[in-house]
Structure 1
């Protein structure tokens, strides 16, 4: 079995070492089980995606080593519908009547092709995971509970309810000691922000089934009312011998059912999670920061799985937040948060994988939807070049390898990955005209011209989508239709000479690299230097002034896309017409 060394290990390799060793201790010869859990209570945003990507990357590394491994994605779709999220298209206040019902029993937003609220929000993530090469086995908790899969575990938990309550009570005491009144206002706000940011991770309100009042017996099971379908129920009695369970609902319905037959309810979250660890034999599962405070489901679950269910808590790191450049922390209870499908409209799948692979789970990071996306692509392309020439650091090379391929094989890639910022500028200037776009891309490198736009796809399509959806109208580039005769006529001798030198060199330098040399070189020639002279501070000032002049003459403002790309996009003849002195 391949083992990593300190010189080559990245965080994924080190976790895979631990996971394989732990799996051998627990269940020698059996497949390694890695797990994720998500509640499709709303848009499953890019913070929730870390719940999937951390186990995926570790499971994929285990598979690369030839060790059998399965990645379980547990859909907590039998969780209650807690609130109506704001900003979700096709949803209004009428959905409040479904609060308390299972997510699979709530209708989807109006106009959705899916059969339920849960399926509506699962679908885009499942499609994104397929595009990203994430192999997993999906489990619907609705299907598990309603099929009676956990019947023995439920009956066992009910028999052991007093022992469970004793474990939970250790942490209820701690929670009382840390009442919000003892925190600073700033601390309370930070805690609330973090709780909101990780909704949808499976925390599900951190329900432990606490009794309604003093002297009331504790029950770790919550039935869904057979009359109204909601969980506004209170268990009033349970008989271990007959498994008869009595409950009343806030809707007024009351009944007695046999829990050995009844399948319309579930264990409360803090009991449900450790039960499933034992049932599935989970070896590795990460969890968000919301699970790691005293008394949280991860902490309590570790006690319950060992003391009650006879299993072991998975190993796994706590993962930090994922933010969006220019946006506040994400919450799946609010509409309008970017999901993986949104990111894949502007990022190639390997790039999005890389953002999760290059950072340790406990490191927070941001995903750029604004202008920083261009810098992200630049970093990605620079890393690709370093990997190709062998100069990349081992951990960086490992992250790159995990991004571009899985144990099953390589992910689709753009055959000719031209710079994203250049493609964005071209699409911006041509407003997506494919004939003009191809004309420009052919001229980028005349020695190896682009023969078809397909060579630049899917990156070209990602750039086009970013420009049309993320770049504000006032930042779009509009090339002048006619020369600015007034500005041209007002130029002094130095500016006139600079324009002459530029126009004189256009034909000879008409390629991306050539125009880069030319636009930076004209101020050098004006200063009596050669084109390859190193810039001085004075020269940099002259270059900035020359660039501003060209922008004003071409697009009517003093900044814009990179000038070499802009010139290529405008075309030689039109450049000459806009820059020729009257």
Structure 2
């Protein structure tokens, strides 16, 4: 076993601290056994980026434990035996007939290739977790309940229903008669609109009736078409699976929540101990409030991976403590986010990153199994987005520009980042914000220019060949107003000079794309090409 002493590690971030705590707790509870971290996801609708924190938090801790050479498993429970609660927006209202059935008994949305509702929403998440490098052992709660895996703890919970009711009574605001912790699914209609009317502790005979009119008597010791209610189900799993670490969202930490109540039930009924369980905060999407899959379409991990590389998405979850909220950018902010990510990469390469920064970066780019795929020739995302915008995805044009920009000889060298930037442009930039290079010179604007503006354009056109690179064109476009003012190209900017530069830039944008703003001018000039630039400048 590897040495897990924190004094030998520079990566003293939140993940390492939790790993220290989990390892110590595991040694106290179950020395010599594999450490169990756990997550739970309900495929009742789109599994969104807020839900991803439920998985990434224990994944990062479990992966850190494995990095230290300690056996650790990350269990991911798919709560696919939960009841279907409501018909989401955009789905045929006739699906209301399935309310109350297990998610695995509900037909998938129209047009889906999947066999049921749960599999339809699990599938994209499974693919996203694979791309993110998340190793886990998946558990279908449908499979566990219907195969009798939980039979013994179910009988134990029912036998202790009085004790459970007493715990719950401390947190109720209203009286409940005839509490029963197990809810059968009706044999006839498959729904959980049932009421247990009688139970014999000696024989485990259970009678129930359903709102559909059906009723029957079964032996609970043999019954596999029902489940424990949530506030009992969760602590049952903690004990059954030996969970040491499992986070949960803010909503689970209110005074009457399953986390609080379960902490009492797990010991009194199942003889277990509640896991170490940090609360994690919400994840927002560039100005959106709290995400809720029940309210319709929400961004999912699969959506995020369409526009950003897996290491960047991992980094967003690794760099913030669970209790800190953060936002994931689907708008223009993604360009700044990528700039920050690339800057961190340079700091790491130069050995200048702080320990916590280095830890988050390392957790983003590799797991205990090895490194994640990266873009071989990683140009700035904002540059690639500008090129994708201007060329509308034309491969030959894109390659010409990237070759001029940074010596890219094959587009595969710029992938997958190039493809992510192209996808962002295609799906998240409104049509009225897209860049359309003019097909012909703006003769009216050119004719209206004064001598000073014409001279500025001549200086630009004359300097194109000499400055035809990203850095060179940057120097040129900022330098023309300085030369016009009789200053050296490296002269410091003054308020007057900045005003002259803004006016010059606006003129270039109007001549090139017909509006006052656009992509960064050096990138735009490279994309348009020297010959076409000269033409549009009236040269």
Q: TM-score range by the shorter chain?
A: over 0.9
Aligned to 2:219: 258
Match of 2:13 in 1: 10
CA deviations 1:495-517 (Å, max 9, x no partner) are: 11111111111000101111111
Aligned counterpart, 1:52: 55
* Structure 1 position 515 matched with structure 2 position 473: yes
Task: Give the equivalent residue in structure 2 for 1:354.
Answer: 315
Query: For residue 193 of structure 1, what is the aligned residue in structure 2?
Result: none
Counterpart selection for 1:532 from 484, 490, 496: 490
Preserved contact between residue 35 and residue 55 of structure 1 (Cα < 8 Å): yes
What's the TM-score once normalised by structure 1's chain length? 0.91
Provide, for residues 452-496 of structure 1, a one-character-per-residue CA deviation record: whole Å limited to 9, x for no partner: 000000000000000010000000000011111111111112111
Q: What SS does the corresponding residue of 1:48 show, helix, strand or coil? A: helix
Aligned to 2:107: 107
Question: Map of 1:227-266 to 2, 5 A cutoff?
Answer: 227-266=188-227
User: Which secondary structure state, in structure 2, belongs to the residue aligned with residue 225 of structure 1?
Assistant: coil
Aligned 8 A contact 2:206 2:219 in 1: yes
Matches within 5 A, 1:468-487: 468-487=426-445
1:310 equivalenced with 2:271 (yes/no): yes
What do you get for the CA RMSD once the two structures are aligned?
A: 1.1
Distance of 1:386 and 1:537 partners within structure 2: 32
Pick from 38, 44, 48: which aligns with 2:41? 38
Deviation at 1:236, TM superposition (A): 0.6
Report runs of 4+ in structure 1 exceeding 6 Å deviation.
none
Match of residue 187 from structure 1: none
Per the TM alignment, residue 328 of structure 1 is displaced from its structure 2 partner at its CA by 3.1
d(CA) in 1 for partners of 2:136 and 2:33?
17
Q: The residue matched to 1:336 in structure 2 has which SS? A: coil
| CA deviation map 1:160-215 (0-9, x unaligned) | 1101111111111xx46xxxxxxxxxxxxxxxxxxxxxxxxxxxxxxxxx84xxxx
Deviations 1:411-439 (A, max 9, x none): 00000110111111111111100000000
- For residue 82 of structure 1, the aligned residue among 82, 85, 91 is 85
SS of the residue corresponding to residue 156 of structure 2 reads helix
| Residue 69 (str. 1) matches residue 30 (str. 2) | no
Matched, 1:440 2:401: yes
> 1:358 Cα shift?
0.6
Q: Name the structure 1 match of 2:142.
A: 142
Question: Partner residue of 1:324?
Answer: 285
1:422-461 matches, within 5 Å, as 422-445=383-406, 449-461=407-419
Secondary structure of 1:311's counterpart equals: coil
Structure 2 CA distance for aligned equivalents of residues 504 and 347 of structure 1: 39
The answer to whether the Cα contact below 8 Å between 2:42 and 2:82 also exists between their aligned partners in 1 is yes
Indicate the SS of the match to 2:198. Answer: strand
Deviations 1:525-562 (A, max 9, x none): 11222222221222111111110000001001000000
Secondary structure at 1:28 match in 2: coil
CA distance in 2, matches of 1:327, 1:290: 18
Q: CA deviation at 1:336?
A: 1.4
Deviations 1:273-313 (A, max 9, x none): 00000000000000001110011100000000111110000
Matched length: 536
C-alpha deviation, 1:2, in angstroms = 3.0
Provide the rounded CA distance (Å) in 2 between the counterparts of 1:7 and 1:433.
46
Indicate the residue corresponding to 1:206 in structure 2: none
Match for 2:298 among 326, 337, 353?
337
Aligned partners of 1:23 and 1:521: how far apart in 2?
A: 64
2:360 partner SS:
helix
1:358-437 matches, within 5 Å, as 358-437=319-398
Separation in 1, partners of 2:379, 2:4: 36
Structure 2 unaligned residues grouped into runs of 5+: none
Q: Give SS of 2:356's match.
A: helix
State the alpha-carbon separation in 1 of the partners of residues 224 and 480 from structure 2: 79
SS at match of 2:293: coil
Distance in 1 between the 2:11 and 2:109 partners?
A: 48
TM-score relative to the length of structure 2? 0.98
Partner SS state of residue 50, structure 2 = coil
Give the drift of 1:127. Answer: 0.1
Q: 2:245 matched to which residue of 1?
A: 284
Q: CA deviation at 1:335?
A: 2.1
**Structural mapping, 1:106-255, within 5 Å:** 106-172=106-172, 175=173, 211=176, 216-255=177-216
* Maintained 8 Å contact 1:326/1:370: no
Contact 2:311–2:372 (8 Å) recurs in 1: yes
- SS for the counterpart of 1:56 is helix
User: How far apart are residue 327 of structure 1 and its match?
Assistant: 2.5
2:518 is matched with 560
Shift of residue 96 of structure 1?
A: 0.2
Aligned with 2:529 (options 548, 571, 580): 571
Quote how far apart the aligned CAs of 1:326 are.
3.3
Aligned-partner SS, 1:42: coil
Q: How far did residue 8 of structure 1 move? A: 4.1
Please report how far the alpha carbon of residue 329 of structure 1 lies from its aligned counterpart in structure 2 after TM superposition: 2.1
Work out the CA distance in 2 between the residues paired with 1:271 and 1:336.
31
Contact kept? 2:156, 2:269, Cα under 8 Å: no
Provide the rounded CA distance (Å) in 2 between the counterparts of 1:354 and 1:492: 51
Aligned partners of 2:105, 2:143: CA distance in 1, in Å?
A: 12
Structure 1 spans left out of the alignment, 5+ residues:
177-209
